[in-house]
A and B are shown apart, each in its own frame.
Chain A
Amino acid sequence: MNTTWSRFNVTSIALGFAFLYLPIVILVIFSFNESKLVTVWSGFSTKWYGSLLQNQGLLDAAWVTVRVGVIAATFATVLGTMAALALTRYTRFRGRILFSGMVFAPLVMPEVITGLSLLLLFVAVGLDRGFLTVTLAHITFSMCFVAVVVQSRLLTFDRSLEEAAMDLGATPVTTFFHVTLPVILPAIVSGWMLAFTLSLDDLVIASFTSGPGATTLPMKIYSQVRLGVTPEINAACTILIAIVAVGVIAASLVNKRREVQRLRDEQGAQRG
């Protein structure tokens, strides 16, 4: 019984992962295609990467996207961490239900609604659409994702560490920066990365809230995709995938090393 189930399990995992990864692998392979056709292989070439570098519009859009992403992710991380602290540490304050609703609802809110509502807000207050408005929009929806990530770490946090620090006379602020922050830092870092990727990825909200001069990369890719599939877009996508993959793998390696270091410290502390 056990073996048949495990064979079934292995098969389902293998098929599932093939389904998840094949399309991306195919896309990457065809970015190195000699021919302009993206479905017929005619030889290896890196010429599409060369032509990318000459595409000024795409490069400008990439630069805008990175700037928006870094600024939005940083603000979203600060705000999201605050929101997570507010939700886990202060169980009773006026309007807490509304607050937790506002934190969780954007996670599933259809992007067209978020985009439209933010645009109408910006128009109502007379803010010109552009770099600032996209950044504000991205902070708003990604801070909720940061809040959820950090909150899940805070829930498993050993509160007695904080209590010990405060019993020894540390102020809440000192306690936060010297005790809480180091422990939840991995969650904050992955929250930042999540916020950055969400911003990098977003098409719909950016299309609503962006204006002339602040075209982001997904907007640019989208407008080209509508005209047809080209190896140049495949090349641009491959670069994006590579950046994200390197980032995620680097982050997990750093995490692992921190974890090993922490274990070693703990063992050292026990021995000492």
Chain B
Amino acid sequence: MADTAISARDTVSETPSMTRRLFSALISRLVIAIPYLWLLVFFLIPFFIVFKISLSQTAIAMPPYTPVIGVSDFFQKIGELSFDNYVWLTEDALYFNAYISSIWIAGVSTFLTLLIGYPIAYGMARAPTTVRPTLLMLVILPFWTSFLIRVYAWIGILKPEGLLNQLLMTLNIIDEPLIILNTNTAIFIGIVYSYLPFMILPLYSALEKMDYTLIEAANDLGCPPLSAFWKITFPLSLPGVVAGCLLVFIPAVGEFVIPDLLGGSETLMIGKTLWNEFNANRDWPVSSAVAIILLLLLVVPIMFFQHAQAKAQEQGR
């Protein structure tokens, strides 16, 4: 550190300060501008392209759509915009059902994840301080292993001749194999399993900060543990609950891998529908329209998530 300061002082006497100030102003501009432009080009603009293509007609060509709006003839063509794809989405019950069932499946899974994650996070937050870093690493570690692998691992367990059924049958709990794979139950298990760390981490960080003398005070004043939990612990952990639920719910609505590998052919989830529309039917405009509506459904939870992030950031300051 001392060396740095000395060498820095040397540079002061050598460099004219005017150019230096201009230079650092330029650097700070670049630090903002480069990632900003990158995200504009690769994140924001693509959404406008999706929106644009969702308004075009399907064509048998490559790319399989007729481009409707060029930048130059924008106003001329604006009257020819086609909302057919959106009309088509409202007419075909398949899409409506897929949206509803995605939200339902994601909602139930989020609730189950909260139910399972809360006691784990609570146990971690109450664990001795020396053990906590290890526990935290053990929660994060599965997150580092591939999502696909973790979903794949459940196929072998849930299959009719799989390990779970073998175990239950040797223990004489059931007589014939349970059909779990290719049902919604398997999807619930898959989502809970894959997203559990996302629920535990924000819950843990909320619960760890909590002042547990409050609980002791409540107990001393004769409040039963369970009602102390609902009156003190749970409300104080609410920011963690909200963050965790959003982190699970939003990606789960658009989930593709889990319904595809663990769900059945009759399972309707919008991510899978979009994928099929795109890859099997090669209908790019319709899949774009599906994506736009999915995005509109998620805009509110995503804004909510951002708001929570920004608030946490302000508190961190």
Contact = CB atoms under 8 A, between A and B. Distances in A.
A113 B254 contact: yes
Given A38-B156, A225-B261, A248 B35 contact: no
A183 to B, nearest CB: 11
Given A111-B254, A120-B288, A172-B24, A240 B146 contact: yes
Interface SS, B side = helix
A221 B8 contact: no
B309 A104 contact: yes
B120 A5 contact: no
A93 B32 contact: yes
A110 B251 contact: yes
A157 B160 CA distance: 53
A191 interface: no
Contact of B256 (A39, A104, A111, A165): A111
A121 B49 contact: yes
Interface in B1-29: 1, 4-5, 7-9, 11-12, 15, 20, 23-24, 27-28
Contact of B11 (A26, A80, A121, A169): A169
B108 interface: no
A218 B151 CA distance: 12
Q: Which bucket holds chain A's interface residue count? A: 35 or more
B124 A39 contact: no
B36 A201 contact: no
B152 A240 contact: no
A240 B316 contact: no
Name, among A27, A103, A156, the residue most crowded by chain B CB atoms within 10 Å (CB to CB): A27
A118 B153 contact: no
A105 B251 CA distance: 11
B96 to A, nearest CB: 18
Contacts of A218: 146, 148
B112 to A, nearest CB: 12
Interface string A118-146: 10110110000000000011011001000
Interface of B: 1, 4-5, 7-9, 11-12, 15, 20, 23-24, 27-28, 31-32, 34-36, 38-47, 49-50, 53, 63, 116-117, 119-120, 122-124, 126-127, 135, 137-139, 141-142, 144-150, 152-157, 159, 161-163, 166, 193, 196-197, 200, 219, 225, 246-247, 250-251, 253-257, 261, 271, 274-275, 278-279, 284, 287-288, 291, 294-295, 298, 301-302, 305-306, 309-310, 313, 316-317
Closest 6 CB pairs of A and B: A110-B254, A170-B8, A117-B46, A9-B123, A169-B12, A12-B119
15 contacts: A86-B35, A101-B306, A102-B39, A110-B254, A112-B275, A116-B50, A139-B42, A173-B24, A175-B8, A221-B148, A221-B152, A225-B148, A237-B146, A240-B149, A244-B144
